[in-house]
Amino acid sequence: MEHLLHYVWKHKLFPLKVLQTTNGLPVEVIDPGLQNPNAGPDFFNAKLKIDGALWVGNIEIHTHSSDWFRHGHHSDKAYDSVILHVVSEADTEITRSNGEQIPQLLLTCPENVQLHYHELCVADHYPACYPILVSLPKLTIHSWLTALQTERLEQKAQLITQRLKHCNSNWEDAFFITLARNFGFGLNGDAFETWAGLLPFRAMDKHRNDLFQIEAFFYGLAGLLEETFLKKEQEDEYSLRLCKEFRYLQRKFEIGQGMDATLWRFLRLRPENFPHIRLAQLAYLYQKGDKLFSRLLEAETLADVRALLDTRTSPYWENHYLFGRLSSQKEKTMGERSKDLIIINTVVPFLYTYGLHKADERMCERAGRFLEELKAESNHIIRSWSDAGLPVVSAADSQALIQLQKEYCDKRKCLYCRFGYEYLRKK
């Protein structure tokens, strides 16, 4: 209910009668203020007239007046600037930290807003606001999708910044860990990130020119060479050589044990997505050239980026998907669609984050341009919005809609969504 009161206050959906405080003083809302998404009063810098006197300050909104005391605002000086307490049920008087009484306004949510908001929350169809989407002006759709795209990039930039701190601000290491996570393509993402966090990058750099030794590092730390995972019947000359090489590298660089191999998931995976194959491709990519991220920064076109991400495997994996089990001969390259997903989820966010850190607008613009040039992703989220009548052309559109679904629809934050607002307004 409190979220609905926020919505009613923000959009001034007041009843068609004179607003009054609980003490009977007339209230005129000149400006409801700026909504605050963080700690502190709910709206900043509101302008009101109470009994003809102009007030400028903050607004706090609760379902019950007593929530003011329940949340400890009466003893918090950050709330002394509140000039009006808006509630749907006034069950007590409230005060500032100095004991001074604060005016209260009893505000009810219009019945039609409550009804249509309830429809949004309980609707079985998906997305719930689909009836009004086809009637929205193109400018409304474009501006909201653009805002969502930026919001998603900002969210990813925060995650990358956190990862950078763990990597002592080494962009190359943080990039490879992010790249590894996205090589898991969802199902094994967490496992790949756990594995990449164990990699001794400076030690591996000393052996970068030897693909076999890089594979020994990779498979050993992935736990895939351990006796508890590598069955006796799967042992072959190649896996035994890798085991021996990894033990040598462990001693040489004082490397700890690898991860728990049971974290890797194989169920319902196509063989091309098995961790063994993705690790082999990552090893090839790592060994292929130094400073991958630095070279990507210099890539001006998508064709340049795709060329840098070209990868395959060592010869052993051309006729294996698992250790010791022969399969038909096939070069294990990464498909163009998979490569584009890597660009969307790794390269673009890193270009954007690097641009923010270096105050380089060109990098941020390049990230946006790449999203506009890439085809939209294909998944159930994108298909549902496309079926509802929204045009989904580029990866910029699909990324915006993924953000919309995950951060607004799934969390039932319809009141903060422009489509939800239009739904309530039009209904």
- Scored b (16 or more CB within 10 A) or e, 306-340 reads bebbebbbbebbeebbbbbeeeeeeebebeeebbb
User: What is the model's pLDDT at position 228?
Assistant: 80
Answer whether residue 291 shows pLDDT above 80.
Answer: yes
**What mean pLDDT comes out for the span 381-394?**
90
DSSP 262: G
Comparing 13 with 273, the larger pLDDT belongs to: 273
Structure confidence at residue 10 (pLDDT) = 85
First to last CA, the chain: 19
Nearest to 118 by CA among 420, 410, 385, 422: 420
* Percent of residues, the chain, with pLDDT higher than 70: 96
Domain boundaries, the chain: 1-109, 147-373
| pLDDT tens-digit series, residues 245-259 | 999 999 999 999 899
**Is it the case that residue 67 has pLDDT exceeding 90?**
yes
pLDDT in tens, 344-366: 999 999 999 999 999 999 999 99
Q: Could you tell me if 53 and 77 are in contact, meaning their C-beta atoms sit under 8 angstroms apart?
A: no
pLDDT in tens, 105-115: 998 887 777 77
Q: What pLDDT, on a 0 to 100 scale, did the predictor assign at position 116?
A: 67
The number of beta carbons lying within 10 Å of the beta carbon of residue 279 is 24
Output the pLDDT for position 108: 83
CB distance 345 to 182 below 8 Å: yes
Per-residue confidence (pLDDT) for residue 123, from 0 to 100: 52
Please give the average per-residue pLDDT across 310-330, as a whole number: 95
Q: Determine the average pLDDT of the residues in 185-198.
A: 94
Residues 18-27 have pLDDT tens digits of 899 999 999 9
Structure confidence at residue 125 as a pLDDT band (50, 70, 90): low
Mean pLDDT in the chain?
A: 91
| Between 181 and 228, the higher pLDDT residue | 181
Average pLDDT for residues 58-68, to the nearest whole number? 94
